[in-house]
Amino acid sequence: MIGRNDTCWCGSGNKWKKCHFPDIGAQKTVTPMPYGFEKLSDQYYKRYGIILKTQEQIQGMRESGKLAAQILDATCKMAAIGITTQQLNDFAYKLHLKAGAIPAPLHYGEPPFPKSICTSVNDVICHGIPNNRTLLDGDILNIDVTCILNGYYGDTSRMVLIGNVDEEKRHVVDVAYECLMRSITILRPGIPLSDIGQVIHSYAENEGCSVVTQFVGHGVGIQFHEPPQVYHYRNPSNIPLTPGMTFTIEPMINAGVKEAVIDDADQWTARTKDGKPSAQWEHTLLITETGHEILTPWNKEPL
Ligand code: MF3
Ligand code: CO
Ligand code: CO
Across residues 29-50, what is the average pLDDT? Answer: 68
* pLDDT tops 50 at residue 213: yes
Distance of CA 31 to the CA centre of its chain: 24
Does 278 map to a domain? yes
Specify the CATH number for the domain of residue 154. 3.90.230.10
Residues with CB under 5 A from ligand 2 (ion): 155, 248, 250
88 alpha carbon – ligand 2 mean position (Å): 19
* pLDDT tops 90 at residue 11: no
**Does residue 302 line the site of ligand 1, with CB under 6 A?**
no
Distance of CA 203 to the CA centre of its chain: 17
Q: What is the pTM of this model?
A: 0.89
Does 234 map to a domain? yes
pLDDT value at position 36? 54
Note the pLDDT tens digit of each residue in 258-269.
999 999 999 999
pLDDT value at position 5? 76
**Does residue 35 line the site of ligand 1, with CB under 6 A?**
no
Note the pLDDT tens digit of each residue in 84-99.
999 999 999 999 999 9
Does 2 map to a domain? no
Tell me the residue range of the domain where 149 lies. 54-294
Closest CA to 231 of 206, 201, 273: 201
Give the DSSP per-residue string, the chain. Answer: ---TTSBPTTSS-SBGGGTT--STTS--S--PPPTTGGGG-HHHHHHTT--PPPHHHHHHHHHHHHHHHHHHHHHHHH--TT-BHHHHHHHHHHHHHHTT-EETTTT-TTTTP-SSSEEEETTEEE-PPP-SPBP-TT-EEEEEEEEEETTEEEEEEEEEE-SS--HHHHHHHHHHHHHHHHHHHT--TTSBTHHHHHHHHHHHHHTT-EE--SS-EEE-SSSSSEEEEE-SS-----PBP-TT-EEEE--EEESS---EEE-TTTS--EEETT---EEE-BEEEEE-SSSEEESS---STT-
Tell me the one-letter amino acid at 108: Y
Question: For ligand 1, what atom is nearest to the CA of residue 224?
Answer: 9
* pLDDT tops 80 at residue 26: no
* pLDDT tops 70 at residue 204: yes
pLDDT value at position 133? 97
**Does residue 144 line the site of ligand 1, with CB under 6 A?**
yes
Across residues 216-231, what is the average pLDDT? Answer: 98
pLDDT value at position 24? 35
Does 38 map to a domain? no
Q: Residue 272 to residues 24, 59, 141, 253, 259: CA-CA distances in angstroms?
A: 28, 38, 14, 10, 6
* pLDDT tops 60 at residue 217: yes
Residue to substitute in 146, 148, 231, 283 for testing ligand 1 pocket (most ligand atoms within 8 angstroms of CB)? 146
pLDDT bracket for residue 44 (50, 70, 90): confident
Question: For ligand 1, what atom is nearest to the CA of residue 127?
Answer: 11
pLDDT value at position 25? 38
pLDDT value at position 18? 72
Whole-number CA gyration radius for the chain: 19
Residue nearest atom 11 of ligand 1, based on CA coordinates: 127
pLDDT value at position 34? 52
Does 20 map to a domain? no
Weakest mean pLDDT among 143-147, 195-199, 202-206, 237-241? 237-241
pLDDT value at position 300? 82
pLDDT value at position 132? 98
**Does residue 155 line the site of ligand 1, with CB under 6 A?**
yes
Across residues 43-47, what is the average pLDDT? Answer: 88
Average of per-residue pLDDT values in the chain: 91
Distance CA 65, CA 246 (A): 11
Does 140 map to a domain? yes
* pLDDT tops 80 at residue 4: no
Q: Residue 170 to residues 210, 277, 279: CA-CA distances in angstroms?
A: 15, 10, 9
Does 90 map to a domain? yes
Does 101 map to a domain? yes
Backbone angles phi, psi at 220, to 5 degrees: -155, 160
Distance CA 109, CA 4 (A): 37
* pLDDT tops 70 at residue 118: yes
Region of 208 on the Ramachandran plot (φ > 0 left; ψ -120 to 50 alpha; else beta):
left
What total of structural domains would you count in the chain?
A: 1
Residue to substitute in 93, 120, 129, 144 for testing ligand 1 pocket (most ligand atoms within 8 angstroms of CB)? 144
